[in-house]
Structure 1
Amino acid sequence: MARGKLIVMEGLDGSGKATQTGLLCQYLESRGRRVRHIEFPDYREPSSALVKMYLNKEFGSNPGDVNAYAASSFYAVDRYASFLRFWRKDYLSGATIVADRYTTSNAVYQMEKTPREDWNKYLAWLQDYEYGKLQLPRPDLVLFLDMPTEISQRLLSGRYAGDERKKDLHESNVEFLTRCRRTALYAAEAMGWHTVSCSQEGAPRKIEDIQRDIREIVSQKL
């Protein structure tokens, strides 16, 4: 049987990935597809231990305290373990895999730590490492939910009921996230992601309107 399809929902923290991923899974199932929903990091599993240590600031209080290649490896190992243990069989037997984050998150969050002139070099390394050496599946479609940082921060504060102490290493650093949005938009153009605008006139767009855009892209591309 032919391998399945891999759809990735990417975006900064607070962009609505979990909500939109869930709605997309429901839509695809209603269209008769066999769907497997996965998300990264997989905090339920021991493979995410280094990711949790990193985000809990055990390696430093600033994202830059762990270089792009080391941090990328933390996340890549978690994905590798997840693929081998949980969704490889489904993928190889024709299921549609819908991922909330994937290799693409390294391009968003870790490429920022490298010099601007090295961004293409980093993207080439990332793809060779995860898709080549680790042999993880390449996505068939990447949807980047573009939410301006100032809006996503308001949404995150609401998620944590205003308790800023609950934010992790990335979420608590607005300057870092602002730079990550810039690298995300660069990666989206360089790697052929489909960017979905999640705001309008300084406010979040309606969930159903964003989902409509997502379904239209998925229908066209798959």
Structure 2
Amino acid sequence: MPGKLIVIDGLDGSGKSTQSERVAKCLRARGEQVKLISFPDYGEPSSALVKMYLGGEFSDSPNGVNAYAASTFYAVDRYASFKKFWEKEYLSGHTILATRYVSSNAIHQMGKLPRNQWDEYLKWLDDFEYEKLCLPRPDQVIFLNMSRSVADRLIEGRYGGDESRKDIHEKDRAYLQSCQETAEYAAKAQNWRMICCDDGKNPLPLEFVTERIMEKIESRA
């Protein structure tokens, strides 16, 4: 029997990588076999187009690469990762814990389209990645929701104010704000479990957020 695929996603700066590591530790402590994966897989050749896109080689603005083209860059990277690194574990019953997944295309690419095309895009994305590419559907998507102002401050701290280290997504405040809107829309449309990660001014304690994530996971066990 296939294992479980749990996705932890969120906007830039929301702490999803940190929380994925903490949740993996919790799941292992209770005896689960857990494989932690993350997208994009920057260490692999499959991420080449993603790196070119984020590095501004196609356009210096996210909107310079249309939603469908950019989505395929990320989808191909996921397909390669699945076939090379976690298909066997997933099919043998392991829990796969993914930082970002197909949900990230909805968050980051859908806003490039007029709002009246969002439902059409979500249907296309579902068909392309799950049906055409045959990637596993997640059992659960947990979205870490953080206020844009708090997340922006954390991103600034990450790079020490060095703007040159930001990718084209992180440099574009208007784009990041649009991602907040697409994330909330997709979360409702696709039944993601949402967790608030800040109090409006500061991030909530890491352990508090981890506990909320584990509660969501256990409620679906």
Question: TM-score under structure 1 normalisation?
Answer: 0.98
Identify the residue that residue 61 of structure 1 maps to in structure 2: 60
Identify the residue that residue 96 of structure 1 maps to in structure 2: 95
The superposition leaves residues 89-133 of structure 1 with CA deviations (integer Å, 9 ceiling, x where unpaired) of 000000000000000000000000111001111000000000000
Q: CA deviation at 1:211?
A: 0.7
The superposition leaves residues 140-168 of structure 1 with CA deviations (integer Å, 9 ceiling, x where unpaired) of 00000001111111101111111121110
Identify the residue that residue 73 of structure 1 maps to in structure 2: 72
Q: Any idea what SS the aligned residue of 1:203 has? A: coil
Identify the residue that residue 174 of structure 2 maps to in structure 1: 175
Identify the residue that residue 151 of structure 1 maps to in structure 2: 150
The superposition leaves residues 185-220 of structure 1 with CA deviations (integer Å, 9 ceiling, x where unpaired) of 100000000000011032111111111110111111
Alignment map for 1:176-215 (pairs within 5 Å): 176-215=175-214
AA aligned opposite 2:88 = K
Consecutive aligned runs of 4 or more in structure 1 exceeding 3 Å deviation: none
AA aligned opposite 1:148 = S
User: CA RMSD, aligned part only?
Assistant: 0.6
Identify the residue that residue 116 of structure 2 maps to in structure 1: 117
Q: Report the Cα distance in structure 2 between the residues aligned to 1:54 and 1:195, rounded to whole angstroms.
A: 28
Identify the residue that residue 21 of structure 2 maps to in structure 1: 22
Q: Any idea what SS the aligned residue of 1:196 has? A: strand
Q: Report the Cα distance in structure 1 between the residues aligned to 2:87 and 2:170, rounded to whole angstroms.
A: 31
**Structure 2 gaps, min length 5:** none
Alignment map for 1:33-44 (pairs within 5 Å): 33-44=32-43
8 Å CA contact 1:40, 1:79 repeated in 2: yes
Q: Report the Cα distance in structure 1 between the residues aligned to 2:211 and 2:17, rounded to whole angstroms.
A: 16
| Identical-residue share of aligned pairs (%) | 54
8 Å CA contact 1:10, 1:104 repeated in 2: yes
AA aligned opposite 1:118 = Q
Moved more, 131-140 or 197-206: 197-206
Q: Report the Cα distance in structure 2 between the residues aligned to 1:77 and 1:200, rounded to whole angstroms.
A: 37
Task: Describe the shift of the 1:139–1:187 C-alpha distance in structure 2 as closer, same or farther (beyond 3 A).
Answer: same
Q: Any idea what SS the aligned residue of 1:98 has? A: strand
Q: Report the Cα distance in structure 2 between the residues aligned to 1:205 and 1:162, rounded to whole angstroms.
A: 23
**Structure 1 gaps, min length 5:** none
Q: Any idea what SS the aligned residue of 2:28 has? A: helix
AA aligned opposite 2:201 = G
8 Å CA contact 1:149, 1:174 repeated in 2: no
8 Å CA contact 2:150, 2:200 repeated in 1: no
Moved more, 154-163 or 41-50: 154-163
8 Å CA contact 1:15, 1:146 repeated in 2: yes
Q: Report the Cα distance in structure 2 between the residues aligned to 1:94 and 1:165, rounded to whole angstroms.
A: 43
